[in-house]
A = this chain, B = another copy of it.
Amino acid sequence: MLGGYMGKILEVDLTSRKTTITEIDPELAKLFIGGKGYGAKILWDRVPAKTPPLSPDNLLILMTGPLTGTLAPSSGRFSVITKSPETGIFTDGHVGGYFGQKLKTAGFDGIIINGASEEPVYLHIKDESCEILDASNLWCKTVFEVDEILKKKYPKSSCGVIGPAGEKLVKFACISFDIGRQAGRCGPGAVMGSKNLKAIVVEPGDKRPSYAHPDRFKKLVKDLNRSLHTHPNRIKRHVLGTLVCIWEGIDGGTLPIKNYSGIAWPQIISLVPEKLWEENIWAGTTTCYACPVACTKLSVLKSGEYKGKKLEAPEYEPVAVFGPNCLIDSYEWVTYAHILCNDLGIDAISAGNAAGFAMECYEKGLIKPEIDLKFGNGKALIEFIKLIAYREGIGDLFANGVRIAADEIGKNSKRYAIHVKGLELPGVDPRASYGMALAFATADRGGCHQRVWVARAELYGKLKRFSTEGRAEFVKYNQDERAACFSTDLCDFMPFSEEDFANLLTYCTGLEFTPEEYVHAGERIWNLTRMLAVREGISRKDDTLAPRCMEEPIPAGPAKGQYISQETLDTMLNEYYNLREWDRNGIPTEKKLKELKLECKDI
C-alpha cells in the first residue's frame, strides 16, 4: 500500500443510486500523482469526447492529492474535475478549507459522481460509506442557508453546496465548500445542479494517511515550516492575503480597469488593502487546514443582508473584477458582491468580468437592462448578480458567460467580451503583461490565472517587461510544475522548490520522485489536459485573446501604449509549441505523447 493515499475512491451513481468503492491504481499514482492529474486521467478514460457537460454522462470528480491531510503545511486542499459547461473542455478547481482533509479521514482519496438523480439529493459521507439522502427541503436555498442546516445536523462536517445558480445551471456556477472556499471557475456548480445534487457532506473520521518514510517526511516538514516562518511570501500573504496583488497590480499597471479598457482611475486608492482596516471592514484572519500562512481575511459588512456577520472575504480576484473593472471604489460594495457570489453559488471572477462587460454594453446602448447598470453603480452590481443567479431578466443573458452573451447581443459586442475559450479573464489586463497574455491564451481550462502567474516575475524584473523574451520557456515550465503541484494538492501559495515537492512525495508515498520526475509528471498532466481540449476541437485558433486585448493600446498608467498584437502572440505561441513539441497547430505530437507515456489512441 502506498503512503499518503487512503487507497479508496468512492463512486456514486446518482441515476441508479448505487455507491461502490474502487481502488487507487499505484501505476496511475506514479504517472498522474493525484488531484488534478489523477482526475484528468479519469475524465479522459470515462467521459468520451462530445459528451454534453450537463448530461448525466459527465462526471463530477473530487480528488485529493497524496499530500492532502498529511502533516505537510497547507495540506487541506483537493481538486474538483469535470467537463465544463462554460468552456466545453476539461476544468479543475482547487479548493482549500477542511473538506479535503476530512474526506481522507473518512477513508477516501476521492469521489466520482456519475449519472443524475430525479429528485434533489445530497451525499452524506462518513467512515468509508456514503448515503444518498433527500434534499428537497434544501433545494432553492442559498449556500449559507443550506450549510447552516447541514451543520446543525452534522456539526463537525464540511459541506460542499451549490446555490440557486447551480440549480439554474448558470454556466459559471460554483460549488462552495466550508462556505468560503470555492471550486469556482468553469461551472462545476452547474454540473452538480444538472445531477440534482445539492450538497456533499463529509464527516471527519479516524482514518489517517500513512507515510512511507515517516521520519524523513516529518523532518522535512519541520524544516519547511521553519523556513516559512520568516519567508517574505508567507509574511506578505499572512498580512495582506491575496490582496497583496492589488499593490502589484497598481505597480505594474496590470489591474483590469473599466472592463479591461485601462483608463486612468485614481479611485483605486480606495481599494488598496489597508482601507480594509481603515474602514473597519477587516475582522480578522483565518486559515485553511494546517496552514502556517493563514492568508484568508475575514470581513464584517455594515449593511445589506450579510450585515454584522463575520465572513471570509475579500480576495484579490473579486476585488479586481468588481472594483476597478466595474469602477466601484468601495470595499463595502466589492466585499458585498464577493460574499453574495459565494452565497448564491456563482464564480465571483466570471461574475465581475461579466458585470464589467454588461456595463460597457449598457453604456454603449447595446443592451437595455431593467437595472441602471452604469459603471460605478454598486447597487446595480448587487442586483445584477442576483438576476444571474436566478436567471431572471437581463441575468439570463449573462448567465451563460460573456462569450455566449456577446453572440446573442451581436453588434460588435464581441470586442468587449474578455475571455479565452469561453472562460472570463480574471483580474489581470493581459496587455500589461506579455507573459500573462501567453499564459491566458494557453491555459488548459481557458482564461485562467492559476496556471502561471507571470505578472510577478515581470514586475520583479525576472523577465524583461513588454517583451516576448523568455515568455514561452517560463510559461511552459511553470505550467508543468504547477500541474504537478496541483496534483499533490498542497496549496500553490507554498514557496517550495521542485526538490521539496519531490521529497515530500517520495517520503510520503514511497514512490520515488526526483525533482525532474516531479516536473515531468506535470508535463504529462498538462499534455493530457491539452488532449482533453484537442478532442473537443480546440487548436491554435482558440489559443488567443479578445480583440480589445489585441488591438486597443492601454491608454494610461505604467503599461501605457501596450497591447498584444497578433504578431506578438504568434511569436510567443510558435516558441511555446516548439518547446512543448506540439505541432504548429498546437496539437501534441504522437512522439511527445509516447514519450510521456500517454496513450491517447481514440483521437
The residues of A with any CB-CB pair to B shorter than 8 Å are 229-230, 232, 235-236, 238-240, 247, 250-251, 253, 264-266, 268-269, 272-274, 277-278, 282, 459-462, 556-558
Contact = CB atoms under 8 A, between A and B. Distances in A.
A273 B264 CA distance: 27
A559 to B, nearest CB: 11
A278 B279 CA distance: 11
A250 B235 CA distance: 8
Contacts of A282: 278
B460 A272 contact: no
A169 B277 CA distance: 43
Contact of A264 (B229, B253, B269): B229
Given A230-B557, A240-B274, 12 more contacts: A230-B556, A232-B251, A235-B250, A235-B268, A235-B269, A236-B250, A238-B269, A239-B274, A277-B277, A278-B282, A460-B460, A460-B461
21 contacts: A229-B264, A230-B264, A230-B265, A230-B266, A230-B556, A230-B557, A232-B250, A232-B251, A232-B558, A235-B268, A235-B269, A235-B272, A236-B247, A236-B251, A239-B272, A273-B274, A274-B274, A277-B277, A278-B282, A460-B460, A461-B462
A512 to B, nearest CB: 30
In terms of DSSP, what is the predominant structure of the interface of chain A?
helix
Given A230-B556, A556-B230, A239 B269 contact: yes
Contacts of A462: 461
Nearest to A268: B235
Contacts of A253: 232
How many copies the complex holds: the figure is: 2
A453 B556 CA distance: 27
A273 B282 CA distance: 15
Contacts of A268: 230, 235
Nearest to A253: B232
A138 to B, nearest CB: 39
A257 B268 CA distance: 34
A378 to B, nearest CB: 21
Contacts of A461: 460-462
Contacts of A264: 229-230
A282 B282 CA distance: 15
A219 B531 CA distance: 59
Contacts of A250: 232, 235-236
A281 to B, nearest CB: 11
A274 B297 CA distance: 13
6 tightest A-B CB contacts, nearest first: A461-B461, A277-B277, A229-B266, A230-B264, A232-B251, A232-B250
Contacts of A239: 269, 272, 274
A296 to B, nearest CB: 15
Contacts of A230: 264-266, 268, 556-557
A250 B239 CA distance: 12
A556 B227 CA distance: 9
